[in-house]
Amino acid sequence: MRVVQKYGGSSVATAEHIKRVAERIRARHLDGDQVVVSVSAMGDTTDDLLTLASHVSAHPPPRELDVLLSTGEIVSSALLSMALADLGVDAVSLSGPQAGIRTDSVYRRARIAGIDTERLERELAAGRIVIVAGFQGLAENLDVVTLGRGASDTTAVALAAALAADTCEIYTDVAGIFTADPRICPDARPLRDIGYEEMLEMATTGARVMHARAVELGSLYGVEILVKSSFDSSAPGTLIHRETTMELGNKVRGIAHQEHVSKVTVRAVPDRPGIAAMLFEALAEANVSVDTIVQNASVEDMTDLTFTVDPGDYAAALEVVNRVAAEIGAGEVVSERDLGTVSVIGTGMASAPGYAARMFRTLFDHGINIDMISTSDIRITCVVSADGVAGAVRALHAAFELDRAPDPIAGATSS
Judged by CB under 8 A, the residue of 2, 10, 33, 67 near a second copy is 67
Q: Are 323 and 331 in contact (CB under 8 A)?
A: no
Question: Is the Cα dihedral 247, 250, 252, 256 positive or negative?
Answer: positive
SS (H, E, C) 70-81: HHHHHHHHHHHH
Which x/- pattern over 13-52 shows residues binding a second copy (rule: CB under 8 A)? --x--xx--x--------------------------x--x
| Closer residue to a second copy (CB): 66 or 371 | 66
Judged by CB under 8 A, the residue of 13, 37, 83, 214 near a second copy is 83
* Residue 55 within binding range of a second copy, rule CB under 8 A: yes
* Residue at 99: amino acid letter: A
Q: How far is the CB of 192 from a second copy (least distance, A)?
A: 34
* Residue 268 within binding range of a second copy, rule CB under 8 A: no
Q: Are 403 and 189 in contact (CB under 8 A)?
A: yes
Residues 257 and 390: their CA atoms lie apart, in Å, by: 8
C-alpha 175 chain-centroid distance = 16
Which range binds a second copy by CB under 8 A, 66-74, 225-233, 316-324, 352-360?
A: 66-74
Residues 203 and 257: their CA atoms lie apart, in Å, by: 10
Q: Is 121 exposed, middle or buried (0-12, 13-18, 19+ CB in 10 A)?
A: middle
Residues 294 and 118: their CA atoms lie apart, in Å, by: 47
What is the enclosing helix (H) or strand (E) of 345?
A: strand 333-345
Q: How far is the CB of 138 from a second copy (least distance, A)?
A: 10
Q: Are 124 and 32 in contact (CB under 8 A)?
A: no
* Residue 124 within binding range of a second copy, rule CB under 8 A: no
* Residue at 299: amino acid letter: V
Q: How far is the CB of 24 from a second copy (least distance, A)?
A: 14
Angle at the Cα of 321 from the Cα atoms of 319 and 324, rounded to 5 degrees:
110
| Closer residue to a second copy (CB): 82 or 282 | 82
Give the residue from 307, 280, 296, 295 showing the smallest Cα distance to 383: 307
Which range binds a second copy by CB under 8 A, 77-85, 101-109, 160-168, 383-391?
A: 77-85
Q: How far is the CB of 337 from a second copy (least distance, A)?
A: 30
* Residue 338 within binding range of a second copy, rule CB under 8 A: no
* Residue 302 within binding range of a second copy, rule CB under 8 A: no
* Residue 71 within binding range of a second copy, rule CB under 8 A: yes
* Residue 78 within binding range of a second copy, rule CB under 8 A: yes
* Residue 136 within binding range of a second copy, rule CB under 8 A: no
Judged by CB under 8 A, the residue of 4, 25, 92, 200 near a second copy is 92
* Residue 125 within binding range of a second copy, rule CB under 8 A: no
* Residue 339 within binding range of a second copy, rule CB under 8 A: no
State residue 195 phi and psi, 5-degree precision. Answer: -80, 160
Q: Are 13 and 142 in contact (CB under 8 A)?
A: no
Which range binds a second copy by CB under 8 A, 23-31, 78-86, 107-115, 261-269?
A: 78-86
**Binding residues for a second copy (CB under 8 A):** 15, 18-19, 22, 49, 52-53, 55-61, 63-65, 67-68, 70-71, 74-75, 77-83, 85-86, 92-93, 95, 98, 119, 142-144
